[in-house]
Chain A
């Protein structure tokens, strides 16, 4: 499809109320002649009824990004917010138009911060074109026309019109270059705590997630991939399954056995009747103990990749008045979004189409093309709503690949692949496993003179994106521990510091799990800061403050939670507090947690005060929801989630053995949103970093027990 052709078509896939939109049918030329709406530019379509359709490359998955981006566009456009809706361009359209919508990847808390400039400029350009079109029609200078809420006015002649009426003429104008943007201080739509777009379907059951995709003649597939990491499919006997009701075909797809049937339940039932044998390969003896041994070796290894080095840490430790040592660990964790992985595909020799929920439509399209054996321009991915992502649907498009390979076995047939919850647990992209040996040196006055963090364990990039390694080193391992930079700098000035990484990669697949490496790095560093403060006999807040003079933004959020959280003041009887701060994805975050531990050793997290400085706050109400949501996600992991390995296979196959935080464990959350301007930080992930260390520090205050190995449930918290 060339650009001109594209301009004449309305979008096929969107999140608005338009029916039939997810089926990918082409709109006929007759339909177009009857009033399809041209775009003002790639970002903005304005219908004759003044509805503003914002086109968004990033993906909504519950985090509110789409609403925030639409607010930014509406702001620059001077639109009436009540008339704003949105739609998703497809990855194929993005390819055809030379990536006019930019990067679709929605991960790394970059949905807004890496799109705001292009989208605000697109909206500002559209506004200028719309005003110009009105001025041209009235034959008056554009400087004399103004706009408010999508209504254009020429005061001199007392005339007015609306965006919808001039959009067609505006679309024919040459777009301005470098349109000026508003000062965020003057925002009236962006920066406001508006409600989310498209919420109705989420309370009446009408929102269609990709698992809900329906079409006439659709078949369903169930899959069991080899559950042994490093193993392979040896053989299978499908004789019984093939005779079961509704079964169309039993297939081998790489190391997976697949049953295609008329319904998914029949496919799954038949799949359970297939006798499958696996070859464990080198993983027969791979278990959590063997992995722990591997990581322990790395803790003392002589060679390691350096992440942050200054001064001479070994000399500082040798000359220390007092030395503190501690080893921490973080297990594998699964994303477990509520909607299991799924993807629908149809393959023919000259076209492959996919309907799926993904955090990265462009990666899904590339995966489709590769699996289909067809060029990108013969493939298309229709983006559907996600029942959660958390990094799983960004790390790997493995489910998309499987669905295309299945469809290829039955040309022309549309087939929906759904993973069972068990498959989702067994074939995850897990939060990587690491341990960390912390060594700190104090002088006689309790000042921190040296810090060595030896991280041992898994690199995500080594498996998932090896091309991003830097001479074998995984820079992402050091998230939040870097000496500087806008993305994730350590908040302390320590005279002698060494942060290094002994990379040890078990064959269990790692992935980007909400917060990624910041999660364990914040636990390691912030809990150890408390250990050092205790050894120095100095209050944990004061101990940190002494090291944070050169890090005012880190310090400001820490001070904010300390003040609001009541640090230094008496807590309710039996309630104890803990602090933590960290920086990641461009944002500065801190938390003050309040916990109690009863005589039975049961932990209760009562309240967390959280602060974030994300530079610009596009929608404070949605940021609050991200803070709370990140705490639910992070605390559940810290308190009771771990993926363990036996015989190369994940042990925890469902929510009965992999518990998820529920209502009764959710603390009260008080958010301090303190944007200081001048930069754009993310909000989907950052606050998750500080939930666990603040709680762990509070547990120590409550019990005198230092929990160093996650999850917390593995430590007896009863007072000794």
Chain B
């Protein structure tokens, strides 16, 4: 039985050590905002934070994480930056099907944390999450607005 600290709570996880964090989150803990897209760390739909850093949880076994590491999923994500991103996402009506957006939002908040004034090149480089609906241009605009809101706050 593994212990994981997810969204501020330490929880028991009844899964084999090689179980990807994604599936522990979805199936053991019932948090379905983190999505399965490819299983090979290509698409980013499964993005969560581990100790504040974005990781692709589909390719990270739970054996590689200990109970002191803080995992944050879209359901538990909060704070000035994430909230500014979510607000900008709604203002620009970014989501289409929405399936990739949990991952996009967490990736965007990480980018703004690292680069408070992200350039187009920063966005191109750091936002590698896949969106099949093609919301990229709205994501770009919303990131810039969220970053400006965080800077001005």
Chain A interface, number of residues (Cβ within 8 angstroms): 61
User: Known contacts being A204-B74, A654-B40, is A660 close to B33, with CB within 8 Å?
Assistant: no
Which residues of chain B are near A656, meaning CB under 8 Å? 40, 42
Which residues of chain B are near A245, meaning CB under 8 Å? 16
Q: Are A202 and B95 in contact (CB under 8 A)?
A: yes
Cα–Cα, bound, A312→B75 (Å)? 66
Which residue from B36, B131, B134 sits with its C-beta under 8 Å from A340?
B36
Interface residues of A in 187-227 (CB under 8 A from B): 195-196, 199-209, 211-212, 214, 220
- A–B complex contacts, Cβ < 8 Å, 25 sampled: A199-B90, A199-B98, A200-B90, A201-B98, A202-B98, A203-B105, A205-B34, A205-B102, A265-B27, A266-B16, A340-B36, A387-B35, A387-B97, A388-B99, A421-B37, A421-B40, A621-B93, A628-B135, A632-B132, A655-B43, A656-B42, A662-B130, A662-B136, A663-B127, A663-B129
Interface residues of B in 79-123 (CB under 8 A from A): 86, 89-90, 93-102, 105, 123
Which residues of chain A are near B20, meaning CB under 8 Å? 265
Q: Are B98 and A630 in contact (CB under 8 A)?
A: no
Lowest 9 CB-CB distances: which A-B pairs, in order? Answer: A205-B33, A632-B134, A62-B97, A202-B98, A387-B99, A205-B74, A62-B96, A629-B134, A212-B32
Which residues of chain B are near A621, meaning CB under 8 Å? 93
Interface residues of B in 123-148 (CB under 8 A from A): 123-125, 127-140
Q: Are B138 and A660 in contact (CB under 8 A)?
A: no
Which residues of chain B are near A664, meaning CB under 8 Å? 124-125
Which residues of chain B are near A420, meaning CB under 8 Å? 39
Q: Are B98 and A633 in contact (CB under 8 A)?
A: no
Which residues of chain A are near B27, meaning CB under 8 Å? 220, 263-265
Contact of B30 with A by CB under 8 A: yes
Q: Of all chain A residues, which has the CB nearest B96?
A: A62
Which residue from B30, B43, B131 sits with its C-beta under 8 Å from A632?
B131
Q: Are A662 and B19 in contact (CB under 8 A)?
A: no
Q: Are A655 and B38 in contact (CB under 8 A)?
A: yes
Contact of B15 with A by CB under 8 A: yes
Cα–Cα, bound, A633→B136 (Å)? 11
Q: Are A209 and B86 in contact (CB under 8 A)?
A: no
Q: Are A625 and B135 in contact (CB under 8 A)?
A: yes
Q: Are B33 and A206 in contact (CB under 8 A)?
A: yes
Q: Measured between C-beta atoms, what is the minimum distance from A199 to chain B in Å? A: 6
Q: Are B23 and A264 in contact (CB under 8 A)?
A: yes
Contact of A336 with B by CB under 8 A: yes
User: Known contacts being A203-B86, A338-B35, A631-B134, is A64 close to B96, with CB within 8 Å?
Assistant: yes
User: Known contacts being A339-B35, A654-B39, is A265 close to B19, with CB within 8 Å?
Assistant: yes
User: Known contacts being A265-B23, A340-B36, A625-B138, is A203 close to B90, with CB within 8 Å?
Assistant: yes
Contact of A386 with B by CB under 8 A: yes
Q: Measured between C-beta atoms, what is the minimum distance from B77 to chain A in Å? A: 8
Cα–Cα, bound, A204→B95 (Å)? 11
Residues on A facing B (Cβ under 8 Å): 61-64, 195-196, 199-209, 211-212, 214, 220, 245, 263-266, 269, 336-340, 385-390, 418, 420-422, 621, 625, 628-633, 654-656, 660-664, 666, 668-669
Which residue from A207, A265, A629, A663 sits with its C-beta under 8 Å from B96?
A629
Q: Are B15 and A265 in contact (CB under 8 A)?
A: yes
User: Known contacts being A265-B19, A337-B132, is A208 close to B32, with CB within 8 Å?
Assistant: yes
Cα–Cα, bound, A385→B35 (Å)? 14
Q: Measured between C-beta atoms, what is the minimum distance from A439 to chain B in Å? A: 35
Q: Are B75 and A205 in contact (CB under 8 A)?
A: yes
User: Known contacts being A205-B32, A339-B99, A421-B39, is A632 close to B136, with CB within 8 Å?
Assistant: yes
Cα–Cα, bound, A704→B102 (Å)? 43
Which residues of chain B are near A220, meaning CB under 8 Å? 27
Contact of B45 with A by CB under 8 A: yes
Q: Are B101 and A202 in contact (CB under 8 A)?
A: yes
Cα–Cα, bound, A460→B20 (Å)? 38
Q: Of all chain A residues, which has the CB nearest B39?
A: A421
Cα–Cα, bound, A422→B89 (Å)? 31
Which residues of chain B are near A195, meaning CB under 8 Å? 90, 93
Q: Of all chain B residues, which has the CB nearest A660?
A: B130
Which residues of chain B are near A668, meaning CB under 8 Å? 137
Which residues of chain B are near A199, meaning CB under 8 Å? 90, 93, 95, 98
Cα–Cα, bound, A316→B97 (Å)? 50
Which residues of chain B are near A203, meaning CB under 8 Å? 86, 89-90, 94-95, 101, 105
Q: Are B133 and A629 in contact (CB under 8 A)?
A: yes
User: Known contacts being A195-B93, A338-B99, A663-B136, is A204 close to B32, with CB within 8 Å?
Assistant: no
Which residues of chain A are near B90, meaning CB under 8 Å? 195, 199-200, 203
Q: A205-B74, A656-B42, A663-B139 are in contact. List 5 more A-B contacts (CB 8 A).
A: A195-B90, A196-B93, A209-B32, A632-B133, A654-B39
Which residues of chain A are near B99, meaning CB under 8 Å? 62, 209, 337-339, 387-388
Cα–Cα, bound, A300→B70 (Å)? 65
Q: Are B132 and A660 in contact (CB under 8 A)?
A: yes
Cα–Cα, bound, A447→B16 (Å)? 71
Which residues of chain A are near B32, meaning CB under 8 Å? 205, 208-209, 211-212, 214
Cα–Cα, bound, A339→B94 (Å)? 18
Q: Are B97 and A338 in contact (CB under 8 A)?
A: yes
Q: Measured between C-beta atoms, what is the minimum distance from B42 to chain A in Å? A: 4
